[in-house]
Structure 1
């Protein structure tokens, strides 16, 4: 990955990257880059990190505003032989302190805003790193990036296939995220190489315009960077925020043929699908990762495409394993109500799934709920600083995902809930699907299970209101629930990938973090 962009430039890759704003590490560099310019920026960044003190075997922590330069900096760290650790700017100061203490980075690349945010609650992030570099303005205890520019660019340092290559963190929906260590073999050899194939319908073509609206502090975009640059589409479009009015002009100028996004990005961009000349008219393939996407959302985007047979590819997996299953949706399949949150079948040759009783770990029959175990060569190396926790999630060669599901007779898997979030009766995910189908005004529906009580429905709308009549219609013939709470999008605590932090939301609304699950495998 340290020489990825150099190799692309040497091959004459003609891909042009269009940014919705300039890179934070190159504010004067404009919003359009070719492979050679990206390679030059990575080389320059390797010089900055080397000048700051990062070298072979060191760790480099990256904590900044959301942008693709997270991955450029990660490639620069790999180039000098260091291990990049990408930390979301959405993490709380307390979580950042814990993660940085585990990392002990030689260099922390961050912003004065992040340093000030943490200092306001008594946490000095500069104390955890050998050197701290800010990308925006100068800050106490830190070196500004401009002071490091123009130095010598060191020669690339290659690391072994099974040595740590990159450290990413889990979403952190139930507490402090885990630091997930991947090697070149797991994240590039097993994940990126499999995806970088010219597969019919879902493979990247030379005439594609590939757009992504993601959280660049997470492992998916590091892998995506390797794939998209290797496949060399005509254009790449980078979206850093979730404001539809800011994304619209970029998407209109470069209408994508492949669109990948966080579920939350799709939620926020949905109003664009209803515009007369919507920017998704050329999309032939939508890709969703990280979290559940409910049928009404998928339907809206498939109908927005003017292609004859657009596909929606819904991937289910984890930071620790990469994708485990894929399911494809079409307009026809969405025309009939899906039976539960079916995540499809294991990826052929790559992954295997097993469902077991969570108490005895004995296999359960098809049709019976069980704890989902996965087997894949892409499994991470470790949790940095929490090796015991990593070991506790293994049963031989099988990985405990922490999800509950049901295997169908055709081999596909229907997810019920995270074990920690489960409800004694039914499935929160399935009820959320139905509620979103019945409440067109809802941006998102979240069902919170509480011990000894019916689940608490939280309905997220644009203005934070929900009429009694609409709720009465929506909950008809559904399992018993408490009276709903309606909130606005910004009222809900979220992770860096905009997943709902259910434990924090439960505490915010009920004063308790108690759940119906054990939380053993979070």
Structure 2
């Protein structure tokens, strides 16, 4: 089956006899009483019923429907239900702070908002959206809810909701960028860019990296983001034996479900892999059958790679690491094996993110000020060309146009195109620091994490007075041995005294990325960054 219409995706998978069984770590928010075990025909029926309920609320063709709720895969089911009605869903993470969420809603001007009573209260003012539907349990809100809203369960699930077809180049769905460098951008994709160019390419059963009929897939993602919407199209088309959906990354919570259904393929953002890493050392580790790990959104630090690849008892486990953006989808791929992850050079080359996808992605490097090409092996601004490029930004057309350079797209990343065709991504231009010209923030962090086994994560931010960059070390208990730190920084550019914090003390995006500017402001009162021209 090749994915096409996301509004009827689950219906088509059911008609093709997809045998997939889905296991959830908690019930769907849109079906709280229906349990945690689902078949594809049952998922198709849930999408149809949800579409009927949204239609009963007044959602129709052409409407924008903002979705912001607790993290769960039903983000995508809600989006497919809206698409079935001819509407355009906009999936917004509940991890956004109230100010950013309000800004995005003002840009969207949606006809409908599907959310929770708690989020409505957190907004602090009436968002002036005509249709408001809540999906959380009808219980007293923590604060008075602005305006009026109807609960999803109170709407009719049996009304007519025939699929509304749209042109392949019309807006299909809106996703926001991570927001590490400021207010996220709202990215519009079409059926052609997201489904035809991305999902169809991934749904092919390639040797080793393709989804097999006997696979058990585990996903621990941020389901509001664009990657999982594409993933949904892929897995419903590829029809694996089982899917395990994790809505959080707390190891003790995830462990029972993973052990009950040991996965053969695991996908998560880098922060998710970091959080679940303690499971790799348990006697009955749930990753023993994994043949393929997939990481997206960002590079993964070498110690994390080694932990998972050595935890698998598969003869040749593989790690597929992708670099891309919400606007473009995957641009490069790199593969790690157990052997390559254990090599000494693997400790510091995590920023080498593979090669552009042959025949699908073009890449060039230019000077960020002059936009003139720089030679292979020199650092510059990475430009890409892909047919999967999104349609634009909602409410920010000039910003979108400014990032178009001829037929190329400015990623906002600084990197190197090596002579062998591979690509290293060193920093976001907005996060680059003058104090680390040779190493880059990210490479420095890789070295520190390789030398500090107790570190869950290391982050380097700039000092406002032009002094040495300030390192932040994240540990389980917020403590760090001074002697271990002294050994870790030998041979590195000058760094300030480390700030040691726990995981929950670090401001993050919905995908677990560190919000560096916010972190710097909390620690030293001011964020030091690059120009931000290309964000």
C-alpha contact 2:273 2:304 (8 A) present in aligned 1: yes
Q: CA deviation at 1:216?
A: 0.4
Q: CA deviation at 1:450?
A: 3.5
Q: CA deviation at 1:474?
A: 0.6
The 1-side partners of 2:189 and 2:401 are apart by: 15
Correspondence for 1:497 among 502, 511, 516:
511
Q: CA deviation at 1:105?
A: 1.2
Q: What is the CA deviation profile of residues 463-499 of structure 1, one whole-angstrom value per residue up to 9, with x for unaligned ones?
A: 1111211110110111111111011101010001110
Residue of structure 1 equivalent to 2:445? 432
The 2-side partners of 1:321 and 1:348 are apart by: 15
C-alpha contact 1:402 1:418 (8 A) present in aligned 2: yes
Q: In terms of mean alpha carbon deviation, does 409-418 or 314-323 score higher?
A: 409-418
The 2-side partners of 1:84 and 1:407 are apart by: 36
Q: CA deviation at 1:434?
A: 0.7
Q: Does 1:71 align with 2:84?
A: no
C-alpha contact 2:462 2:527 (8 A) present in aligned 1: no
Q: What is the CA deviation profile of residues 238-294 of structure 1, one whole-angstrom value per residue up to 9, with x for unaligned ones?
A: 000011111000101111000000111101100000001100000000000012210
Residue of structure 2 equivalent to 1:346? 356
Structural mapping, 1:300-449, within 5 Å: 300-336=307-343, 337-338=345-346, 339-340=348-349, 341-424=351-434, 425-426=437-438, 427-449=440-462
Residue of structure 2 equivalent to 1:170? 177
Correspondence for 1:124 among 105, 126, 142:
126
Q: How many residue pairs get matched?
A: 516
C-alpha contact 2:299 2:353 (8 A) present in aligned 1: no
The 1-side partners of 2:445 and 2:299 are apart by: 10
Residue of structure 2 equivalent to 1:147? 154
Q: In terms of mean alpha carbon deviation, does 90-99 or 202-211 score higher?
A: 90-99
Q: CA deviation at 1:150?
A: 3.2
The 1-side partners of 2:19 and 2:338 are apart by: 34
The 2-side partners of 1:153 and 1:112 are apart by: 27
Structural mapping, 1:69-108, within 5 Å: 69-108=74-113
The 2-side partners of 1:100 and 1:429 are apart by: 33
C-alpha contact 1:107 1:130 (8 A) present in aligned 2: yes
Instruction: List, as ranges, runs of 4+ consecutive aligned residues in structure 1 with deviation greater than 6 Å.
Output: none
Residue of structure 1 equivalent to 2:267? 260
C-alpha contact 2:461 2:528 (8 A) present in aligned 1: no
Q: CA deviation at 1:155?
A: 0.6
The 1-side partners of 2:236 and 2:15 are apart by: 12
Residue of structure 1 equivalent to 2:34? 29
Unmatched 5+ residue regions in structure 2?
Answer: 1-5, 140-144
Q: CA deviation at 1:151?
A: 4.0
Q: In terms of mean alpha carbon deviation, does 420-429 or 245-254 score higher?
A: 420-429
Q: CA deviation at 1:26?
A: 0.1
C-alpha contact 1:43 1:153 (8 A) present in aligned 2: no
Q: CA deviation at 1:67?
A: 0.2
The 2-side partners of 1:88 and 1:153 are apart by: 30
The 1-side partners of 2:158 and 2:377 are apart by: 62
Task: Give secondary structure in 2 for the equivalent of 1:224.
Answer: helix
Q: In terms of mean alpha carbon deviation, does 70-79 or 340-349 score higher?
A: 340-349
The 2-side partners of 1:400 and 1:38 are apart by: 39
C-alpha contact 2:365 2:383 (8 A) present in aligned 1: yes
Q: What is the CA deviation profile of residues 93-128 of structure 1, one whole-angstrom value per residue up to 9, with x for unaligned ones?
A: 111111111111111000011112222xxx333x2x
The 2-side partners of 1:450 and 1:291 are apart by: 24
The 2-side partners of 1:306 and 1:101 are apart by: 50
The 2-side partners of 1:367 and 1:474 are apart by: 28
C-alpha contact 2:50 2:157 (8 A) present in aligned 1: no
Q: What is the CA deviation profile of residues 287-311 of structure 1, one whole-angstrom value per residue up to 9, with x for unaligned ones?
A: 0001221000000000000001100
C-alpha contact 1:428 1:447 (8 A) present in aligned 2: yes
Q: Does 1:15 align with 2:15?
A: no
Residue of structure 1 equivalent to 2:135? 135
Unmatched 5+ residue regions in structure 1?
Answer: none
The 2-side partners of 1:145 and 1:134 are apart by: 6
The 1-side partners of 2:39 and 2:78 are apart by: 17
Q: CA deviation at 1:398?
A: 0.4
The 1-side partners of 2:528 and 2:287 are apart by: 42
The 2-side partners of 1:281 and 1:151 are apart by: 44
Q: CA deviation at 1:68?
A: 0.3
Task: Give secondary structure in 2 for the equivalent of 1:342.
Answer: coil
C-alpha contact 1:325 1:347 (8 A) present in aligned 2: yes
Correspondence for 2:490 among 476, 486, 497:
476
Q: CA deviation at 1:313?
A: 0.6
Q: CA deviation at 1:513?
A: 2.2
User: TM-score, normalized by length of structure 2?
Assistant: 0.95
The 2-side partners of 1:28 and 1:448 are apart by: 46
Q: Does 1:6 align with 2:35?
A: no
The 2-side partners of 1:272 and 1:394 are apart by: 44
RMSD: 1.0
